[in-house]
Amino acid sequence: MNRTYLSRALPFILIMLFTLASFGFSCRDTGNEWLQQMKNAESSTVLLNNDKGIVPLLNLEDNKIASVNIGSAYADEFDSLLNKYTEISRFTVAAYKESSLNQLNSDLKFFNTVIIQVTEAALSNPDNVAFITDIAKSKQVIAVIYGAAGGLRLLDSLSCPIIWSVQNSPAASSFTAQLIFGGTAASARLATDVSLMFKRGDGFSTSPVRLKYTVPEEAGISSSDLQRPIDNIMEEAISKHATPGGVVMAVKDGMVIFDKAYGSHTYQDAVPTKITDIFDLASVSKITATTMAAMRLYEEKKLNLDTTLGAYIPLARNTNKNDLTVRELMLHEAGLVPYIPFQNSIKPGEYSRDSSEAYPVKVADHYFIRTGYYEDVMLPRMLNTGLKARGKYEYSDLSMYFMKEVIERQSSEKLDQYALNEFYKPLGMQTAGYNPRTRFDKSRIVPTENDTYFRKTLLEGYVHDQGAALAGGVAGHAGVFASANDLAILFQMMLNGGSYGGKHYFQAATINMFTAKQSKVSRRGLGFDRWDPDRENRYPSELASPETYGHTGFTGTCVWVDPKYNLIYIFLSNRLNDQPANKLSSLRIRPRIQDAVYQAILKAQK
């Protein structure tokens, strides 16, 4: 490892060492030791008072959740896991020692659900017991107790769910946090009588309904067989300036077994990349938003694959796009031109460096386009372009521009809001969506490119694709930003046959149809890219199965789902940051990492 890379990576390495330590790892620990700790937590954690089935929490929409810590030394681990499932606001009783628990109670007034971590020792304080009892009168409370069973006696009057773990450890915190959202399952029972309320044999069982966060060993894979090759490939990518950083995630059998960030946000700064960072997905937007919406409308019989574009878009009826079908658009067989460089034809007076009523559409920092530019210029130009031979494969962004128009007409909702309301929010996806700068500080968003030819600024939270940017950041082919965890949630739902978190999103038959090979002239599915039967292309990797579907993105991203291996592979990067040549592809960074995951799986199966 060269010194330049080491100095850049050092802050990240320190953070990772702290993170691993906080989850029970040390230099001597192994994944097997952590797995055993988690199994011990599972065997000694009992779910009580769950006759109403509140645990696992299912409905995440409009459910504001607070986590309150009363005495636990491992609240950071606990809250970190909670926040992988939905947004959680953190509180600690220690912060209120100068005032009163009444103030904390008051500060919780706008929350629907309150999750309380408390130790047996903390329950010896009557004020803490009174606080828990009082808050449970007006809020949905889930109490998590660590320590000897004696603490349960003090909560006999509670009817809310209680999760009791005799252990008070990082593993217990990890297990109980995931249990609340259905990442882990409850099965243990009380071994002895504790009180009149809690008797021997008491306890409820639950089933997993969401992602589990664990070590590779739980999937039978050695941690070193994953980490060593992936670390080496990412070191090469960063040192050779294929990308300043990135995030790699692997999900096997519904379990996140690898989730690691590398490098920094740019080559110039020392801001370490984090696994929670938000990336510009580029063309991965096609399957993350547009195709998902099309699948939903197809199931609702609001979208017919063989209906023409003119039937859905009146403006297309007097153009050569009138007879194009939805199926042709989604297979990239409509004969459309690949793209139109709209940024090259912007006229003086159509943009401004300052916002105003006349220039309301923000394309980037200090760049605003005039009102109605998409409707007046972009859409008419796309509708009036020439056509190539229909029925041949020609990858085109215009197809998804048009699909956005179809989806918005048939759903009566803007694409960004439709995807957010129908998928992202109910699934618990916290970062996914268009125009992230309206929702997040730019420090959370990885800078995509220093745009020296169009917007003349560093792109931080504004879509890289020029056409999508001029369309207000919302387009069918680009514009979605997300973290790796959010993508894992979305595509685990797909692997589950359309269900996640106790809610049904698609019929399995719909998923199978859209993701299967649907073209006679290409490898494509409907909206989805797929495994290439021409093995000289080695696409998406050497070892991916013929069932594999997903997509890549121009900014250096990809998502690949392999049902044969029950596997999701996610790679997020900002390869365009000060990188003129496409080294990420020429060095085959993404497929080599994907193959490293397969090799670890295949080694474990021997």
How many angstroms separate the CA atoms of 422 and 297, rounded?
11
pLDDT digits (tens, 9 = 90+) for 178-203: 999 999 999 999 999 999 999 999 99
Name the average pLDDT for the chain: 93
Instruction: State the burial class of residue 519 (Cβ atoms within 10 Å of its Cβ: 0-12, 13-18, 19+).
Output: middle
pLDDT over 60 (residue 8): no
Q: How does residue 24 score in pLDDT terms, banded at 50, 70 and 90? A: very low
Q: How would you classify residue 501: left for phi > 0, otherwise alpha for psi between -120 and 50, otherwise beta?
A: left
Q: How high is the pLDDT of residue 198?
A: 96
Residue with tokens 């070191």: 235
**The domain 16-210 is classified under which CATH number: 1.25.40.10, 3.10.20.30, 3.40.50.1700, 3.40.605.10?**
3.40.50.1700
Q: How does residue 270 score in pLDDT terms, banded at 50, 70 and 90? A: confident
Mean per-residue pLDDT for 99-122?
94
Q: How does residue 232 score in pLDDT terms, banded at 50, 70 and 90? A: very high
How many angstroms separate the CA atoms of 543 and 545, rounded?
6
Among 413, 460, 456, 418, smallest CA distance to 436 is for: 460
pLDDT digits (tens, 9 = 90+) for 574-586: 999 876 668 999 9
How many angstroms separate the CA atoms of 221 and 421, rounded?
37
φ and ψ at residue 432, rounded to 5 degrees: -65, 135
Among 488, 424, 434, smallest CA distance to 461 is for: 434
CATH code, 229-243+258-605: 3.40.710.10
Q: Which is more confident, 105 or 100? A: 105
Q: How high is the pLDDT of residue 606?
A: 87
pLDDT digits (tens, 9 = 90+) for 384-442: 999 999 999 999 999 999 999 999 999 999 999 999 999 999 999 999 999 999 999 99
Per the structure block, which two tokens stand in for 458?
A: 């560093």
Amino acid found at 300: E
Span(s) in the chain for CATH 3.40.50.1700:
16-210
The DSSP result for 355-382, as a single string, is --SSS-EEEETTEEEPTTHIIIIIHHHH
What one-character DSSP code corresponds to residue 573?
E
pLDDT over 50 (residue 10): no
pLDDT over 60 (residue 263): yes
Angle, alpha carbons 493-228-275 (nearest 5°) = 45
pLDDT over 70 (residue 571): yes
Residue with tokens 């809001």: 417
How many angstroms separate the CA atoms of 418 and 202, rounded?
44
Mean per-residue pLDDT for 27-31?
58
Q: How high is the pLDDT of residue 2?
A: 40
Task: Report the range of poorest mean pLDDT among 17-21, 345-349, 565-569.
Answer: 17-21
Percent of the chain surpassing pLDDT 90: 91
Q: How does residue 20 score in pLDDT terms, banded at 50, 70 and 90? A: very low
pLDDT digits (tens, 9 = 90+) for 517-531: 999 999 999 999 999
Q: How high is the pLDDT of residue 258?
A: 98
Span(s) in the chain for CATH 3.40.710.10:
229-243+258-605
Q: How does residue 30 score in pLDDT terms, banded at 50, 70 and 90? A: confident
pLDDT over 90 (residue 245): yes
Angle, alpha carbons 370-373-376 (nearest 5°) = 135
Listed in order, strand segments (DSSP E) in 400-515 are 433-434, 450-451, 457-458, 480-482, 499-500, 503-504
Angle, alpha carbons 114-116-122 (nearest 5°) = 150
Per the structure block, which two tokens stand in for 207?
A: 């089933």
φ and ψ at residue 405, rounded to 5 degrees: -65, -40
Chain centre to alpha carbon of residue 377: 34
Q: How does residue 533 score in pLDDT terms, banded at 50, 70 and 90? A: very high
Q: How would you classify residue 450: left for phi > 0, otherwise alpha for psi between -120 and 50, otherwise beta?
A: beta
Who contacts 172 (Cβ-Cβ below 8 Å, separation ≥6)? 41, 45, 74, 146, 165
Helix/strand/coil for 117: strand
Q: How does residue 269 score in pLDDT terms, banded at 50, 70 and 90? A: confident
Among 331, 341, 335, smallest CA distance to 321 is for: 335
